Chains A and B, each alone.
Chain A
Amino acid sequence: MTNKRYWHKLIRLLRKDWAVAAFFLALSLIGFALFYLIPFAMGFLYSFQDRTVDGSFVGLDNYMALQASASFRKAASNTFLFTSISVPIIIALSLLFAHLLNQKLFARNWLQTAFVLPLVVPVASIVMIWQIFFDWNGTLNALLQSLHVERIDWMKSDWSMGVLIIVYIWKNIGYSIILFLAGLQNIPKDYYETADIEGAGKLHKWIHITLVYLTPTMFFVILISIINSFKVFRETYLIAGGYPHDRIYMLQHYMNNMFLSLDVQKLTAAAVLMVGCILVFVTGMLAIERRFRNFME
């Protein structure tokens, strides 16, 4: 009896596009498994072993070693610092610029293009200019000198974090501007008109209409900004090389250098920790977002 029901179920399942889906997915799945899924699983296993070949299970030893490593702690705290400074700035600035770009302006499209253009300009091609700005003998220090301020070694002091944040914001702000602009343009105009009739003030309108309806976009922009800020290696590598000043030595540098020194255990343990943190963070954000959406309805 149950056997028969199983068969029915299976046939229904198969009718439900299963074979078709397998056909459409096959190519993607094979490649995805080979280059993403399997490496992921392997990395996870390695992080609990003492060798990659015939390794034996060592529990959390690798994580302990990682925890004890000074350069890992430095890299982790730098990454954290970078994220916690750059993300709020990028959110605030892009929100401001999106608001301004959403006003009536002359040549609005050209202005928007100017803000988005850095997104497509390769970092490697503007490295020279950043060097000229921030060098010990650079333009910025010349400016400071003329204001009778002591010059600063931007790239070889704690200021390098500031430089990195500026480069990063310059490069990536267009992304959040685009998202915020779309969010702003999706708010129905008549909400504002109704509020006008009821005599609401500007600030009141901004808080009760704009901000409320922008919140879903805001969630997404914060989420993406934080995740992208973990990927700042490209900018750092190009302006400061593989071994930059201590202050901008990021988790990705650490991982790259562990790879070059063949310390697979620490590398995979760091990778697993990073994945764990990203997952916890993303699930947290999505849970808050769901709460908010329920609250709105």
Chain B
Amino acid sequence: MTVFRKLVLTLIMGGLALAMLFPVAVTFTNSFMTEAEINYNYHLIGQMVDVTAGEKDQFINLKLIPDWVSFSQYMEVLFDKPVFLQMFWNSVFMVVPIIVGQVLVASLAAYAFAKLRFWGRDKLFVIYLITMLMPFQVTLVPNYIIADKLGLMNTTSSIILPGIFSAFGVFMLRQFMLHIPNSYIEAAKIDGAGHLRVFYQIIVPLIHPGIAALVVLLFVDYWNMVEQPLIFLEDAFKQPLSLYLSQINEGARGVAFAASVLYMTPMVLLFLYAESYFVEGIQLSGIKG
């Protein structure tokens, strides 16, 4: 009986899980169609058929399985469209510095917030928190002016620098550090270790899971960014993949699926590899310290 119940529940959840995966799965299978097949199936997107003029009422034919498996989309994206690779690297060269920079800056600041006592600490931390809650657009104009004054306009630094100093990493790593018992630090201090030494010999090794979680969450967030490049980058060739894909969907439908798959693959692989860190990161940044 309990096995039966377990089976029924599994089937229900399995069905829902398939529905969740459906858009991703279809994107994947469609990426192996030839351009001709894509155009044949989906040429009706955005078309208005005039039934009154005697035209036949038609619908898009969503196909799950390609007629024959072809890598032509991938070949075209990777070898005939240098724009794609260019933008792929644009994304990489924005996301990697943000992650490295934020982990460095935030772990130092998080130590101060979690383990040191100083005047105004909690008030300052609340201010950090508040900025985390705000949509990007809230500080659009002043950010623009500051980027302009620093000569950052239309450079990727105008995106990388605010990314590095975002409050999120400070918040998350502080959560992880609060779980480290103060007695560890006291013991090290009695042995004559200074704060810097405590930091990199005790704290950093202990918050490895926290750093891993932060890296995953930041990667997800910045790999998908849309708002910042839309405002700060005027040159099309500097823009990241996320913006490129929204254009390719209109112009070059024939390769959109392969481009999409290539775009999401790093994320999905990282996620499958580090799912536990990802989940732990969300839980810990969710539970108040």
| Residues in chain A within 8 A of chain B (CB atoms) | 13, 16-18, 20-25, 27-29, 31-32, 34-40, 42-43, 46, 52, 97, 100-101, 103-107, 110-111, 113-133, 135-139, 141-142, 145, 170, 175, 178-179, 182, 217, 220-221, 224, 227, 230-231, 233-234, 237-238, 241, 251-252, 255-256, 259, 264, 267-268, 271, 274-275, 278-279, 282
Contact = CB atoms under 8 A, between A and B. Distances in A.
30 contacts: A16-B117, A16-B118, A16-B119, A18-B118, A24-B108, A24-B109, A27-B109, A28-B108, A31-B161, A32-B128, A35-B161, A35-B162, A36-B131, A39-B146, A40-B139, A42-B142, A120-B271, A121-B24, A122-B245, A124-B226, A124-B260, A135-B44, A139-B60, A142-B60, A182-B283, A221-B286, A252-B137, A255-B140, A256-B227, A256-B230
B137 A130 contact: no
Contacts of A131: 45-46, 249
Given A43-B142, A279-B130, A34 B118 contact: no
Interface string B108-122: 110110001111010
Given A121-B264, A124-B241, A275-B138, A100 B9 contact: yes
A102 B243 CA distance: 38
Main secondary structure of the interface of A (DSSP, over half): helix
A117 B246 contact: no
A130 B60 CA distance: 12
Given A38-B142, A131-B249, A132-B45, A117 B24 contact: yes
Contacts of A28: 105-106, 108-109, 165, 170
Max chain B Cβ within 10 angstroms of own Cβ: one of A22, A126, A141, A230: A126
Contacts of B231: 256, 259
A137 B60 contact: yes
B108 A115 contact: no
B242 interface: yes
A103 B2 CA distance: 11
Contacts of B167: 32, 36
A17 B286 contact: no
Interface in B237-289: 241-243, 245-246, 249, 253, 256-257, 259-261, 263-264, 267-268, 270-272, 275, 278-279, 282-283, 286-288
Contacts of B268: 117, 120-121
Given A124-B241, A128-B30, A128-B256, 8 more contacts: A25-B112, A31-B164, A35-B146, A36-B162, A111-B14, A122-B263, A132-B62, A256-B231
Contacts of A25: 108-109, 112
B26 A129 contact: yes
A267 to B, nearest CB: 6
Nearest to A18: B118
Interface in B27-63: 27, 30, 42, 44-49, 57-60, 62
Which of B10, B60, B230 has the most C-beta atoms of chain A within 10 angstroms of its own C-beta?
B60
| Top 5 A-B pairs, shortest CB-CB distance | A31-B165, A39-B142, A28-B109, A114-B17, A125-B260
A238 B246 contact: yes
Chain B binding site: helix, strand, loop or mixed by DSSP? helix
Nearest to B165: A31
Contact of B145 (A52, A105, A142, A182): A52
B50 to A, nearest CB: 12
Most buried by A among B20, B27, B42, B257: B20
Contacts of B230: 237, 256
A137 B282 contact: no
Interface string B68-87: 00000000000000000000
Contacts of A259: 137, 140-141, 144, 231
Q: Which of B130, B140, B259 has most chain A Cβ within 10 Å?
A: B140
B118 A123 contact: no
B249 to A, nearest CB: 5
Interface of B: 2, 6-7, 9-10, 12-14, 16-18, 20-21, 23-24, 26-27, 30, 42, 44-49, 57-60, 62, 105-106, 108-109, 111-112, 116-119, 121, 127-128, 130-131, 133-146, 161-162, 164-167, 170, 195, 199, 220, 223-224, 226-227, 230-231, 241-243, 245-246, 249, 253, 256-257, 259-261, 263-264, 267-268, 270-272, 275, 278-279, 282-283, 286-288
A261 to B, nearest CB: 12
Given A113-B275, A141-B59, A256 B137 contact: yes
A31 to B, nearest CB: 3
Given A106-B7, A120-B220, A267-B141, A126 B60 contact: no
Contacts of B137: 233, 251-252, 255-256, 259, 267, 271
A142 B260 contact: no
A113 B165 contact: no
A119 B279 CA distance: 11
A217 B227 CA distance: 30
A125 B264 contact: yes
Given A21-B118, A24-B195, A126 B27 contact: yes
Contacts of A217: 286
A204 B30 CA distance: 49
A114 B20 contact: yes
